[in-house]
């Protein structure tokens, strides 16, 4: 089959590799029908995720059709349409027993396109398929579902739920690329009074408003002044970091009110400064997290009830053979206006 | 009357000042019967709390007898024995309405010995006395109660409750001076499996064991190795920072397991480094906080039922006129073995 | 002044009574500008609330203008426009300290029109005015605000928050009179997948759909069948009882799934049967409650941001002198289509 | 092999039956080393659990040695010593994904000795063995572990955690047979101020005091008076029902304070009366539940750290061939003083 293979920092190719097959009784193999690219894939290509080895097939977000299952698989049979989640989970370790699947101790967690071959390919092997692949209703389209492989549950669990967004809150989202936009979309489920988007790109701020932010802080504006003007000078209830660099994290800790929460979603490559000399007295809560995907079934349900409209997030569509071009478009959002790009089997 | 007056960095005196009197209808004036010194007072004397002005009477922990009340006071009358809490609270602002008294917006929060004259004096004025002074049962001794003015509720709320200490947890307390010891004492209320004390001073580690730590990590030992040995290599569930310097905070973030909590109690004067490049993926929660004292009534109840034995924390006793000597003893624990020193009216 | 005076079961009159005045330093006296009638007032007139004595001025929901304040009042001055909340609170007792104002132990709780004279009058005395009366923004209309005196915070706190309504949930509201409609309105703040309204009156079911229910169960339908059809045969996540009779409560306990919640809002006059032989094994949670009004400031904020549109709830308007007619209209919703009736000073 | 076989209401025998074998790839078969009898088994024999068919091997609490495993079992191999938990769990359904194993939708929940043959036998088949059987440390004795098959996690999860027992609380346990005693033991993990035991049998009240209750209410005493005397007339924070009859449940709802919790553990065969005419206004929470056993790993850890001493609960020991006698002793605690009886393979 063909797959998008990482060749070391800066190197990738859409090339022939051996077909995947069942290794463990809990595995399933899928034909990939729809797949997308994550900002994390760009980090890998940038060399920022050194545990990914050259030769690895990338990708951790796909929808596919089951073509084979191991002898221990209970819930899936060939022909099932499934969402391949970014997180694999044994279901048995102390973390999995408390729904903290992202921290699985038995060979789970973020495996696909990281420690094992991923889904940017014609076929893919999914470990622990019973827990990690979600059967799809015929009412759910591939393109909607594929956004629930990572970006939606990540923004919801790690941003919105960790940040304890509540009705009437003022929520700041720092960085409104795809993950920040998904945070805006899912924050709205809790009816905050204000969602304030902060970004350097005017086009992203426009998108943020379409996704539900009511206030956009432009590069020249003072975020604190804007936030103070709608919070009686107190600061935001929740700040969601969706960039992954020290400056934006530090900005978040400066924007919240006493008793506020900073929910970090960003993937960081270097340390940040924590201003404890200001924060020690302010009753703040700072959270980090890899997604656990416990919310995926609930989010899938919301697609079907029409509560979540994720379609506006997809700006470009390609065939699988156009993977290199798709990467180029996705990697250059300033030039292309790309949010999420999807690739469909044709 | 006489009072301990701050004279600017490094300067203090036990000297004559005007008697306090009722200013606001919600005030009470107490005769100070028992009072203690806080590590924060040493920070003030070190010049680290610049908002404290020269001429300020220090102190925010006392037990006294009401001698006068304003016209708006409902709950207190002259003669009542009360605990003067470190936190004053208006009871009306958005923070006070949710029990977050430490963040009071209307002239409350940490006021005594900070923004207004404190209780290291023969008499003291207590603002918002109905909410901020706690009537004492005859079963409660002055010396037990005075430890509930700050140190016990702080360690309990900001350390133990923020850290969500739970039965079976492994809890690390970094820094076992008085506040760390109080964290050990109150962590035990939730039956953790292990309480691990870390400090540079052997004498403090001995005290930690008497207060309920089962493991002491000595200066030469590797804390992570000790913690891994009792947590199957995962790390601690909770790390409580009770020192207030960057190094110990950073140590705490390195000692917890995925999904663990760092509860900062320490008063910090400078920023710390937050290793987001490691932590972003680990589902950690970091909290800070000034005490709100919502737990003070519950802790007072536990004194009476014998559930909390705080007496072991008092190592030295003085009369009020010995305030300068008491400070010297308290400021030099390595030489004196001091934990808490109390001063009693005689 | 004139007031609506309870004369014993079945008896009421709009009649001359002495003007109220300041009794306690914490009191305020307001001129009543807008006032409404609660289903509970009908219960009182029905003789179901025996602690209400003949001669009592009824009413616990009003907006007014402060005309006098006691010496201990901090936050209000004559001329302030305020919402008079149904709950008075001392702010000092163990319940008030944890925001459980409805359970105040010092002469608070539901006092107005119950243990003391209420607000269905030209003037009214409000005890503990600092905590219990909420200053209104000029952006808030009297008619919107008056619905936040009782019905909105009650449905939100006792129904929606106690029931832990969450995104994607299926919520059943049994009884869609005014309080049930308010439960629908506030449940939507948490984005449930379905809100199912159950009532005997077709007109109320129509209203329920306008307020946001997506499914209405008509008298002839089998509620369980409807609920099973949208929950894969499991039952509802949350059932909110908004009637106050045994049959509807028992219906609620039969409609929820294992792990579901029944949140009782209804005012009950007689016991219900609890089918523990079915429920013991089902992990259900049943809650009851008088409103605490801790959410009133948040809900007031949502009026201003446009997140809550309560105006559709008001069906009839009267002058204060038409109080008897207003009661007649409100007491006969089947004939009049009344939801909430408001009376305005002219 | 021999097994304790239910023969219909009132009928049981220790008799020869076919050996169990692997049916599903997730099964394990154990040799039973230590087993106990539950009050629920007596209910079955009393005919109160009609879904149990004649011919069923009873028993859902055992420690054993794995002798065979299905092809899908990952975590166990023959020779492993395991705790056979009362709850089996598929690990994949919506309930299992949120640790609510007792409500498993795919053939799990309380299966052993209920819907399938149980563990009062020389050998037993355990479905979903990876999740439902817990490997034991060599430090854990059979007799300690067997009490964690049902009674300890049930009292802890359904009584103590559902009741939200907190430091300083007053907790009432109504019914202090084995499950009530286990509730006392595990309630202590949260340091309540008082644990009040209520029972009709003096001998059980004596046991309750040994397990950690500080107050015993004898048959002649007025429970409410006793509770009021230690709660300033308010009522208990938590009442744990551990009997399973209407009268004791109704007693619980009458003993709690406004804002209090009733946690039902009892297995009920008939409805109770819920006095909503009193309770609607009191902010109470009532919970029911079958154990989920999510706490079993934590409780096993506490055996090893010495935090839980369950040995005092075992009053009688037998060999497997003495099963009929063991039932007689257990069924007649008034005469025998039996708490838990264990049967050991010899």
Q: Which of A167, A301, A307 sits opposite C189 (nearest CB)?
A: A167
CB-based contact, A256 to chain B, within 8 Å: no
Each residue of A188-216: pLDDT tens digit? 999 999 999 999 999 999 999 999 999 99
**Alpha carbon of A60 to those of A125, B314, C206: distances in Å?**
11, 58, 46
**Least CB–CB distance from B167: residue in D168, D193, D302:** D302
DSSP strands (E only) in chain A: 2-6, 12-16, 28-36, 62-69, 81-84, 123-126, 133-135, 170-174, 194-198, 215-217, 236-241, 256-264, 272-274, 285-287, 314-319, 340-344
The number of C-alpha atoms within 13 Å of B180 and in the hemisphere containing its C-beta is 33
Separation in Å, CA of D262 to nearest CA in chain A: 25
Chain B contact for A272 (CB, 8 A cutoff): yes
Angle B244-B247-B251 from CA coordinates, rounded to 5° = 105
- Note whether C135 and C47 are same-domain residues: yes
B263 close to B157: Cβ distance less than 8 angstroms: no
- Whether residue C233 lies within 8 A of chain D, CB to CB, comes out as no
Query: Helices B178-187 and B202-211 meet at what angle, rounded to 10?
Result: 30
The pLDDT value recorded for residue D219 is 87
Domain boundary among B261, B287, B313: B287
Q: 3-state DSSP call for residue B232?
A: coil
Identify the chains in contact with B, defined as 3+ C-beta pairs within 8 A.
A, C, D
Do residues C296 and C148 touch, judged by C-beta distance below 8 A?
Answer: yes
Angstroms from B200 CA to nearest CA on chain D: 27
Q: How many helices (H) and strands (E) does chain B have?
A: 13, 16
Categorize the per-residue pLDDT at B219 as very low, low, confident or very high, splitting at 50, 70 and 90: confident
**Does B86 have pLDDT greater than 90?**
yes
pTM (global) more than 0.90: yes
Q: How far apart are CA C59 and CA C122, in angstroms?
A: 12
pLDDT at C219 over 90: no
**Whose CA is closest to B82, among B163, B148, B37, B38?**
B148
Contacts of C301 in chain B (CB under 8 A): none
Last residue of a domain, one of D287, D315, D335: D287
Q: How many residue pairs from chains A and C have C-beta atoms closer than 8 A?
A: 46
Q: What is the pLDDT of residues A124-142, one digit of tens each?
A: 999 999 999 999 999 999 9
Which residues from chain C sit within 8 angstroms of residue B25, using beta carbons?
25, 71-72
Q: Does the distance separating the beta carbons of B269 and A273 come in below 8 Å?
A: no
Range of the domain at B142: 2-150+292-344
Residue by residue, DSSP assigns B157-224 as IIIIITTT--TT-EEEEE--SHHHHHHHHHHGGG--SEEEEE-S-HHHHHHHHHHT-SEEE-TTS-HH
Are D280 and C258 an interchain contact pair (Cβ–Cβ within 8 Å)?
A: no
Helix axes D223-230, D246-255, angle to 10 degrees: 30
Please list, in sequence order, all residues whose beta carbon lies within 8 angstroms of the beta carbon of residue D82, skipping any fewer than 6 positions away: D28, D30, D63, D64, D65, D66, D76, D126, D129, D133, D134, D135, D136
B303 burial level (CB within 10 Å; 0-12, 13-18, 19+): buried
Given C262, C287, C312, which residue is the final one in a domain? C287
Domain of D263, CATH number, reads 3.40.50.720
Could you tell me if A86 and A180 lie in one domain?
Answer: no
Whether the pLDDT of residue B272 is over 90: the answer is yes
Instruction: Give mean pLDDT, residues C33-49.
Output: 94
Identify all chain A residues contacting D74, using CB atoms and an 8 Å cutoff.
26, 90, 92, 106
Q: How far apart are CA A188 and CA A168, in angstroms?
A: 11
The answer to whether A307 contacts chain C (CB < 8 Å) is yes
Q: Cα–Cα distance between B318 and B316 in angstroms, integer?
A: 7
C309-335 pLDDT, tens digit per residue, is 998 999 999 999 999 999 999 999 989
The total number of structural domains that make up chain A: 2
D167 lies within 8 A of chain B by CB: yes
Taking residue B68's Cβ as centre, other Cβ atoms within 10 Å add up to: 17
Instruction: Give the pLDDT band (50/70/90) at residue C258.
Output: very high
Nearest-neighbour CA in chain C from A304: distance (Å): 9
Same domain, D111 and D223: no
User: What pLDDT is recorded for position B308?
Assistant: 95
Nearest in space to C290 (alpha carbons), one of C88, C43, C53: C88
Same domain, B124 and B145: yes
Report whether C59 contacts C119 (CB < 8 A): yes
pLDDT category, B145, cuts 50, 70, 90?
A: very high
pLDDT surpasses 90 at A105: yes
Interface C-D, measured as beta-carbon pairs within 8 A, has a size of: 124
**The pLDDT value given to residue B6:** 98
Q: What is the model's pLDDT at position B346?
A: 82
pLDDT of residue D346: 82
Q: Name the band, by pLDDT with cuts 50, 70 and 90, for residue A104.
A: very high
Residue B321 is classified by DSSP as: G
Distance separating alpha carbons of residues A157 and B318, to the nearest angstrom = 54
Neighboring chain C residues of A299 at a CB cutoff of 8 Å: 168
Taking the CA atoms of B80, B83, B84 and B90 in sequence, report the sign of the dihedral they define: negative
Q: Write out the DSSP string of A64-84.
A: EEEEEE-TT--S--TT-EEEE
B159 pLDDT exceeds 90? yes
pLDDT at C275 over 90: yes
C301 — contact with chain A (CB < 8 Å)?
yes
Distance from CA of C184 to the nearest CA of A (A): 14
**List of chain D residues whose C-beta atoms are within 8 Å of the C-beta of residue B137:** none
The pLDDT of residue C346: 82
Cβ pair B294:C97 closer than 8 A: yes
Mean pLDDT estimate for chain C: 97
Q: Does D190 touch chain B (CB under 8 A)?
A: yes
* Beta-bridge partner residues of D317: D342
Identify the CA nearest to D149 among candidates D45, D34, D43, D44. D34
Q: Identify whether the C-beta of residue D266 lies closer than 8 Å to the C-beta of residue D287.
A: no
Which regions of chain D are under pLDDT 50? Answer: none
**3-state DSSP call for residue A194?**
strand
Yes or no, beta carbons of D283 and C284 under 8 Å apart: no
Check whether residue C251 and residue C336 sit in a common domain. no
The reply to whether D100 and D19 lie within a common domain is yes
> Residue C88 forms beta bridges with which residues?
C109
Domain match, C51 and C140 both: yes
Of D249, D268, D288, the CB nearest to C284: D288
**B276 with A268: Cβ contact below 8 A:** yes
Residue B48's pLDDT is what? 84
Cβ density class D13-34: b for 16+ within 10 Å, e for less: ebeebeebebeeebbbbbbbbb
The pLDDT score that the predictor gives to residue D48 is 84
Q: Residue D29's Cα: distance from chain center in Å? A: 23
Same domain, C6 and C128: yes
The DSSP 8-state label assigned to residue C100 in this structure reads -
- A324 and A186, same structural domain? no
Q: Check whether residue A168 and residue A264 sit in a common domain.
A: yes
Which residues make beta-bridge pairs with B286? A286, B262
Q: What are the start-end ranges of the E strands in chain B?
A: 2-6, 12-16, 28-36, 62-69, 81-84, 123-126, 133-135, 170-174, 194-198, 215-217, 236-241, 256-264, 272-274, 285-287, 314-319, 340-344
| Mean confidence (pLDDT) of chain A | 97
CA distance B219 to chain C (A): 42
Question: Residue A308 maps to which CATH number?
Answer: 3.90.180.10
Task: Give SS3 for C39.
Answer: helix
| Residue B305 in contact with partner chain D when CB distance is under 8 A | yes
D90:A74 CB<8 A: yes
Question: DSSP secondary-structure letter at C48?
Answer: -
Query: Is C74 within 8 Å of B90 when comparing Cβ atoms?
Result: yes
The answer for D 48-107 residues in CB contact with A (under 8 A) is 71-72, 74-75, 90-92, 94, 97-99, 106
What are the φ/ψ torsions at residue D325 (nearest 5 degrees)? Answer: -65, -40
Give percent of chain D above pLDDT 90.
96
* C residues 112-131 closer than 8 Å to D (CB): none
Of the candidates B282, B192, B291, the residue with the CA atom closest to the CA atom of residue A289: B282
Q: What is the mean pLDDT of residues B238-263?
A: 98
* Candidates A103, A110, A277; nearest CB to B268: A277
A277–B270 CB contact, under 8 Å: yes
CA distance B133 to B156: 19
Contact residues on chain B for C131, CB-CB shorter than 8 A: 91-92, 97
CA dist A179 and B83 (Å) reads 50
CB contact (8 A) between residue D168 and residue B193? no
- Residues D105, D165, single domain; the answer is no
- Calpha distance A181→A226 (Å, rounded): 20
What number is the average pLDDT over the span B211-224?
Answer: 95
**Do C92 and B130 contact (CB within 8 A), yes or no?**
yes
| Chain C residues inside the 8 Å CB shell of D249 | 274, 276
Same domain (yes/no): A124, A246 = no
Average pLDDT over residues B12-22: 98
């Amino acid at each position: 089959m063909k797959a998008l293979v990482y060749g070391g920092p800066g190197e990738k190719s859409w090339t022939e590799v051996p077909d995947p097959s069942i290794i463990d009784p809990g595995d399933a193999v899928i034909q990939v029908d729809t797949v997308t690219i994550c900002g994390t894939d760009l980090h890998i290509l940038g060399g920022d995720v050194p545990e990914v080895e050259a030769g690895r097939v990338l990708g951790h977000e796909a929808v596919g059709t089951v073509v084979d299952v191991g002898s221990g698989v209970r819930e899936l049979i060939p022909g099932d349409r499934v969402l391949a989640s970014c997180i694999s989970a044994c279901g048995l370790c102390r973390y999995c027993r408390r729904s903290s699947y992202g921290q699985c101790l038995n060979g789970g967690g973020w495996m696909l396109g990281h420690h094992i071959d991923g889904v940017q390919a014609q076929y893919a092997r999914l470990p622990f398929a019973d827990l990690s692949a979600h059967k799809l209703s015929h009412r759910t389209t591939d393109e909607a579902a594929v956004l629930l492989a990572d970006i939606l549950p990540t923004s919801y669990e790690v941003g919105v739920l960790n940040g304890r967004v509540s009705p009437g809150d003022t929520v700041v989202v720092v960085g409104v690329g795809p993950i920040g936009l998904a945070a805006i979309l899912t924050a709205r489920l809790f009816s905050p009074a204000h969602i304030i988007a902060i970004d350097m790109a005017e086009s992203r701020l426009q998108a943020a408003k379409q996704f539900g932010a009511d206030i956009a802080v432009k590069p020249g504006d003072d975020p604190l002044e804007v936030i103070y003007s709608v919070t009686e000078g107190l600061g935001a209830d929740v700040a969601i970091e969706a960039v992954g660099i020290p400056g934006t994290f530090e900005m978040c800790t400066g924007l919240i009110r006493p008793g506020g929460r900073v929910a970090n979603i960003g993937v960081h490559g270097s340390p940040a400064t924590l201003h404890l000399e200001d924060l020690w007295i302010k009753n703040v809560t700072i959270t980090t997290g890899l997604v656990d995907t416990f919310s995926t079934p609930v989010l899938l349900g919301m697609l079907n009830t029409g509560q979540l409209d994720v379609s506006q997030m997809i700006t470009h569509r390609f065939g699988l053979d156009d993977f290199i071009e798709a990467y180029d478009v996705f990697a250059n959002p300033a030039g292309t206006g790309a949010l999420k790009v999807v690739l469909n089997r044709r």
